[in-house]
Structure 1
Amino acid sequence: MASSPGGHASLSSQKSPLWECSRSKKLQVTEEELFYMNCRAAYLTVFKSSLESIMSRDQLCIALQKAGRNPSQKTIDKYWTPQTAKLNFDDFCAILKKEKPTSKSELLKAFKKIDVNNDGYILHTDLYKILTKRGEKMTAEEMHVIINLADINADGKLDYNKFCKLYVTTNEQCLKTALEKLEIDSKMRLQQLGSHLEGSSESGTTPLSKPSPRIIKKTDQETMLNRGDGRNSLPLAPRKYRSSTSFNISMPANSFRTSKLLEPNSLKEWQCAQTKGCFFLEENGEIVSHQYKIHLTQRSMVFLTIKPLNLSQEEGLLSHWLTVDTAFYLLRESEGQPNLQLVCFPELRNREIYGWSGELGPGVYCLIPFTTGCRLKKDKKHVTEEAKLVGRGEKGELFLTKKFRAALSDIFEIIDLDGNGLLSLEEYNFFEMRTSGEKCDDEAWAICKENFDTKKNELTRQGFMDLNLMEASDRDGDPSDLWVTLHSMGYNKALEMVEACPFVIDVYADKCRPKIKALQMESNNGQLDKIICKSVMSKGSSKAIDSHENVFLHTYKSDFRVTSVLDNKSENKVIIHVNNELSKNCVNNRSLNIFAVEVAPKSTMVCQHVMPLNERQEWIYNCVYSLMS
């Protein structure tokens, strides 16, 4: 569907009348639950299951249209980049949260700007020039579709009031049709992919009533289900819990002190390699980070550590990311074996530093940074005033504000992976891929070096500042593109880095000089999930869910966290209801105390990570896993 004339207007948070229609059915559901109901309804008009992924730009466009959106090509390009292979249902929900339906008032406002006579009409000739020459240009064929709508065109001009009404009505009808289809097929109501609601009793909302972990009444089943995953909050046919199992772990305050990381006595004599990186939280909740290769030339005792990077902050302000848990999985490449072999995962910690010590043979190793996501979550802080990025001097010249320069200096520290105070082309391209999705080629880099301060063919900190100033100058002081960069790097409108966690990795070896190199920056979810499942299933405890012969719960406990993995050995998908309400002083990566997850046939999946909310207090992990039918 082509971009509308209102495509350049800001998107409104206006609620669809479909939401009001749903309310009239006396469903005791929240706005958030209604949002996910509409998401799922739209998705299931295109796909048979929410386990299916969007595999093309066209599928993404169709799914968005079914959800009542009218995405432009620019919008599609934003979410389907050259690096995109597929998008899942979670990604789809995240996109719909950002791309709100355009309201009628916004469309009218946009049209009135080009209505020179202020009479409610726009000549077709004027409309053609505007929509095919400005902004995101429409094709002649797309223009003819609009002009051929007889009800809104007369005497060579467009009645844009009627057009706006038709536009909004069409979007609402798309949503309504999708929802009706969902209601007709009750089986569709079972499609789900885990937790989506933001906010829980962990963050101060009213706690829910606590059912018994062992005896669950039939009347409680529906209540618990409707408190779970947003896409599971629909009026459902009566369900039963076929079986359930509970898990209880009590951990004393400061339990991590019993697993303290100690440096080898002779560490100062060992050779060291250091690099930096960052965890970035995506809109869909995935966490993206660098991956690394480590090379050892001979067998050595090795000491590996990872910790949050302590950047310069305003006086009196603490860096929130310093409390984020940072760890890693170390894997070995072996000749003749296609899969990497798991070597270790840090079990020891000294304050915020996680580490591992042991002997490694010569060869190449893959290091994948890992954080549970329990403490790196979407920012819910409401920013009342946007920070100023650029200003003008007395002569009208542009300059970067002190606060923005401080943020750019921190960004420079993060992307300067080797810590030499300069940016190589490779380091700069990690930044470019993160913020723009495109690499800087050799020719462009040569031009960059000609215009900005460099040293040893690498960009200096001042050169990086000047590059950003040039970007602001090219936009005549408009900070929009600068904000795109800042948001990509985890900053909010107050210039606080709230959705990223920079870290530093140290590799020590006693017999040789180790080498560590960043390879790429990508989502680790698929690969990491397999590694985590394998690790938990090999080292953790295992329970069949109430002796069910095909569905197993694997739980691994350390002094810092609890991880649970679900293993579905059956030929059919299963839905597991998870209830953490009886846990105390705990936070999980799903941000919900009650949720449901769907496990595909013959597969394993990470169910949740749980950590103490306050490590100085006792924490109790008490979870009930129920198999639903």
Structure 2
Amino acid sequence: MASSPEDNTSLSSEKVVHPESSQAKKSQHAEEATFYMNCRAAYLAVLKSSLENIKSKEQLRLVLQQAGRNPSQKTVDKYWTSQTTMLNFDDFCTILKEEKPATKTELLEAFGKIDKDKTGYILHDELYRILTTRGEKMTEDEVNAIIEQADFNCGGRLDYNKFCDLYMTTREQCCKAARERLELDSRLKQQQFGNQIEPSSEEVTLPVSKPSPRALRKTDHKLLTSKGDSRTPSRPSSAQSFKASISTTISMAARSNRNTKLIEPDTMKEWHCAQSKGCFYLEEDGEIISHKYRLHVPQRSTVCITIKPLNIHQEEGISCHWLSVDTALYILKENETQENLQLVSFTEQQNQEVSSWKGELGSGVYWLLPFTTGCRLKKVKTQITEEAELVYRDEDGELALTPEFRAALLDIFETIDLDGNGLLCLEEYNFFELRTSGEKCDEEAWAVCKENFDMRKNELTRQGFMDLNLMEANDCEGDPSDLWVTLLSLGYNKALEMTEACPFVIDIYAEKCKPRIKAMYLEAGSSQLNRAVCKSVVSKGEAKVLDGYENIIIYTYSTGGRITSVIENKSENKVIIHVNNEQSKNCLSNRGLTVFAVEVAPKSMMVSQHVMPLNEQEEWLYNCVHSLLR
């Protein structure tokens, strides 16, 4: 297929259907079945098996084209960076959900913006200039390919309506050819799909969903919806493909019916208290990063630790998406070095959105590692009908911040004010700078800020923070582009809604001493956290051994709010485990697939999945079958 301006158009939003009727369930089921059938057809048009990995940029481009996409070089580079060595089928599905094909209406609208006179034609020179200089810039060869295939004898002009018809026809032909090949090949129809890259045998890695250029193992974050007894044609479930299976069924009550006893900090009013805020941020590639903390306990004491989403001020009537995001905290003891951390415990008890742990800690240094499953903090495209205004000019012609932008900035200030004293010290401000610009502010630059913006005791006030953003708007002469870069990096969408971040607060109560907590890093989940998650499930969860394969164990750990499964492979060989959630009901998974397969390296363990209720006010059923593939 020839390259097109598809990548210069905005992608239509993906609608997540919450089934409320049998008809809605059938419709959603059919759409998902068609999507995965097309995914498999495209993948198997290039690769021999859906358990085989994409190993080059050219293979990635080919499978995308077989799926009816037409990626520019920039799009390919987005998913295949210098650090990428392979992508698996799950990654491919994730990419297809992100890189949606443009509709004919969207293409015509994009061309219409170029064709100011509405003639239906665009001069080749004008088309070349725009496609190589604007948006996701195309190469000269890519533009020439469009012109060569779609001139239609128009004398140096592109009839873009005919081009759109050609583009849509060619795209459908590619998809149809891939589907027909799949249907005709009985061997390919029986292929399983979905796998994960083999983790290092030296450390346990957590397959948090992330179509990330910085990591190799990635899966999509989407809803795991009720499937009933039906099966999708794209997901083979023949028992003949399996050597052994284990089924785990857990029926969970609605949150309103759960009687989880939570440690109440009010009973410890006389205890010493320390607090710090932080935030989970969702990267563009789906990876979740957060603050990491160092806790110092001066002497042995009974300690209570809680973590919960931070309820910052919001306008009345506006829902706070992040308040439903699950949070947990893993407590690790520092020994000789920071690299040698020992899991102590984690915040296991939960009531509403508060997660807590109470126990005795000896004197020393501990690390607190926040964690969220990714079930609810994930990429969800929403239709933004109108971009929010950030700045305007007042009666005197001076730039000013809009009330909506000021409200968002106050919420941001509240989030990055980690110690909650109403001021930003240099360390707190630098967490903000690293997140939004990737650079730190040094002492000299901070001194300049002190001369120009309101500060108290060498800390930036709320008004100073507002004035700093107003100065940035003035520096750009009212162009909000840089301001949007800041907002988007902090989890806001173009409607000024925080949809891809979750601020949280950690409280520590100690009976006999004053604890001290300090945020140290802002980074993605470390190998230490990955090990901690696996170890916590292995130590607390129910273990089931695959019949006839005593070296393969499935651990399932259940709390009132989530279920996590871990696969341990004690054998000397890599194994492939097929995971089937089709019989689960009212479930939300950090995986995008109801049926998938994972590879587990020898002598290692890895998280199979995290599952939460889709609707917490209703009962939910976790029904998962882990099977060893032949």
Q: Same fold (TM over 0.5)?
A: yes
Shift of 1:250: 6.1
1:518 corresponds to: 520
Task: Sort the Cα spacing of 1:266 and 1:110 in 2 relative to 1 into closer, same or farther, 3 A.
Answer: closer
Q: Distance in 2 between matches of 1:511 and 1:354?
A: 22
Whether contact under 8 Å (1:244, 1:624) holds in the other structure is: no
CA deviation profile, 1:529-580 (whole Å, cap 9, x unmatched): 4422222222322112456534432123445544332334564312132355
Q: Does 1:268 align with 2:293?
A: no
**In 2, Cα distance between equivalents of 1:195 and 1:512:** 43
448-457 or 365-374: which moved more? 448-457
Verify: 1:198 aligned to 2:236, yes or no.
Answer: no
Rounded to whole Å, the distance in 1 between the matches of 2:133 and 2:248 is 63
| SS in structure 1 at match of 2:306 | strand
Alignment of 1:131-530 (within 5 A): 131-132=131-132, 164=164, 167-168=167-168, 171-172=171-172, 175-176=175-176, 179=179, 184=185, 186=188, 189-193=191-195, 198=223, 200-201=225-226, 208-209=228-229, 223-224=230-231, 226=232, 233-234=234-235, 239=240, 243-248=244-249, 257=259, 259-263=261-265, 268-270=270-272, 272-281=273-282, 287-296=288-297, 299-315=300-316, 319-335=320-336, 339-349=340-350, 352-374=353-375, 376=377, 387-435=388-436, 438-440=438-440, 442=442, 452-455=453-456, 458-470=459-471, 482=483, 485-492=486-493, 494-509=495-510, 510-511=512-513, 513-523=515-525, 528-530=529-531
The one of 570, 575, 578 aligned to 1:575: 578
**Identity across aligned pairs (percent)?**
56
Distance 1:421 1:473, change over 3 A: same
Count residues in correspondence: 587
Q: Deviations over 1:127-153 (max 9, x none)?
A: 555455555655556666666669657
Equivalent in the alignment of 1:36: 36
Task: State the Cα distance separating 1:328 from its structure 2 match.
Answer: 0.9
Change in 2 beyond 3 A, CA 1:156/1:623: closer
Instruction: Measure the CA separation in 2 of the matches of 1:43 and 1:404.
Output: 44
Structure 2 contact 50–192 (Cα < 8 Å) conserved: no
Q: 1:190 Cα deviation (Å)?
A: 0.9
Read off the aligned partner of 2:263 and give its amino acid letter.
Answer: L
What does the per-residue CA deviation read over 1:577-614, in whole Å, with 9 as the maximum and x for residues that have no partner? 23554x6xx64435899544434353533334455678
Q: CA deviation at 1:369?
A: 0.9
Q: Which runs of 5+ in 2 are unaligned?
A: 15-26, 196-218
CA deviations on 1:81-115 (whole Å, 9 max, x unpaired) are 89989876555444433332234554455445555
Q: What's the CA shift string for 1:214-264, capped at 9, x where partnerless? A: xxxxxxxxx44x2xxxxx725787856655444455677878656431559
Contact 1:508/1:514, CA 8 A, preserved across alignment: no
Tell which has more relative contact order, 1 or 2 (C-alpha 8 A, sep 6+): 2
Instruction: Quote how far apart the aligned CAs of 1:277 are.
Output: 1.1
Look up the equivalent residue of 2:225 and give its one-letter code. Answer: S
Of stretches 530-539 and 245-254 in structure 1, the one that deviates more from structure 2 is 245-254
- The 1-side partners of 2:86 and 2:436 are apart by 20
What SS class does the counterpart of residue 573 from structure 1 fall into?
A: strand
CA RMSD between the two structures: 4.8
Moved more, 184-193 or 535-544: 184-193
Is 1:261–1:354's contact at 8 Å kept on the other side of the alignment? Answer: no
Q: Within 1, Cα distance between the matches of 2:411 and 2:473?
A: 19
CA distance in 2, matches of 1:87, 1:452: 48
8 Å CA contact 2:587, 2:621 repeated in 1: no
Verify the 8 A CA contact 1:293 1:519 in the aligned structure 2.
Answer: no
Contact 2:132 2:139 in 1 (8 A): yes
Cα 1:535–1:119, aligned 2, differ >3 Å: closer, same or farther? closer
Distance 1:236 1:548, change over 3 A: closer
Q: Which deviations, in whole Å up to 9, do the C-alpha atoms of 1:479-520 show, x marking residues without a partner?
A: 566555445434455544344321111334534552422312
Greater displacement, 304-313 / 443-452: 443-452
* TM-score with structure 1 setting the length: 0.74
**Paired residue type of 2:228:** L
Pairing 1:534–2:535 present: yes
1:102 aligns with 2:102: yes
